[in-house]
Structure 1
């Protein structure tokens, strides 16, 4: 395992997962619900920023590695899945939306692994739609974790729910894109 700043940032993202979850289980006399929301959203935001930053640094400093390429998407999937499950438990997200997003992540991860074994991983490389999907997911999760209306008349819970719905639609769209790209390998036709 290479030890460099990009890889350490990826590990830090994994370590932040139980921190995001943990703040919502602290007793109210330790941390009031408002501050649980704020702390959870801030920790998740920091983790999301490290997702962008570790990849940027790895490319800029030429510190990319097979291990980093493996660990980064695993950290992303764990972070999103854990946050979505928490949001469903808190009653802030619909289970069916979380199931679509988590199911897609598992499906595409398995597809990428299978394509890599065939030596065809370029066929399922990250696309622009995948990046837009990720951005929509991150915004939705942060807003739903925050669950606080800062501006009178603006319902952040509704905005977060709409963003999550858009993220689920983009999730299905990007899954269709990846499956279409892999279709020749899936069917044995090139």
Structure 2
């Protein structure tokens, strides 16, 4: 079974330079997480995404920084697809800075849990990494993606294309088509 803590999984992947090139995957997965926690509700209509804020904060300090960036965009506690795509384009550097803080926060948590020995990772981190890479191989070689959880990991590993229309709100081609701008492939 895979490690369930999204922030920890993301951090483990960063240790071996396996983070997805598409930076929006993390935002997408956090939106799904917040939707499951009932912090927001997601509505898809005609391949357009709307985020409806049910709360003004989330229960994780570092995730809340991203949550607040999105909440500020809302009008009547709703952010539509077009606003979201423009925000990703305009605040791309802020998003990258936030992502680095997200990873640093996980490292600090691991230090507080004494999962470092003489500034090296403890064996349990290496064991979790082995388990994660084993799950990646299992999904890639032997498993048809069937569940939401499997899809989450397949996206993080860069194994499968996401079949969900909701993810399309982040795709670079949409921004290029709508706004005539390009950041190059794989940047977000």
Q: If each structure's strand is expressed as a fraction of its own residues, which one has the higher value?
A: 2
TM-score by length of 1: 0.30
Structure with a larger share of its residues in helix: 1
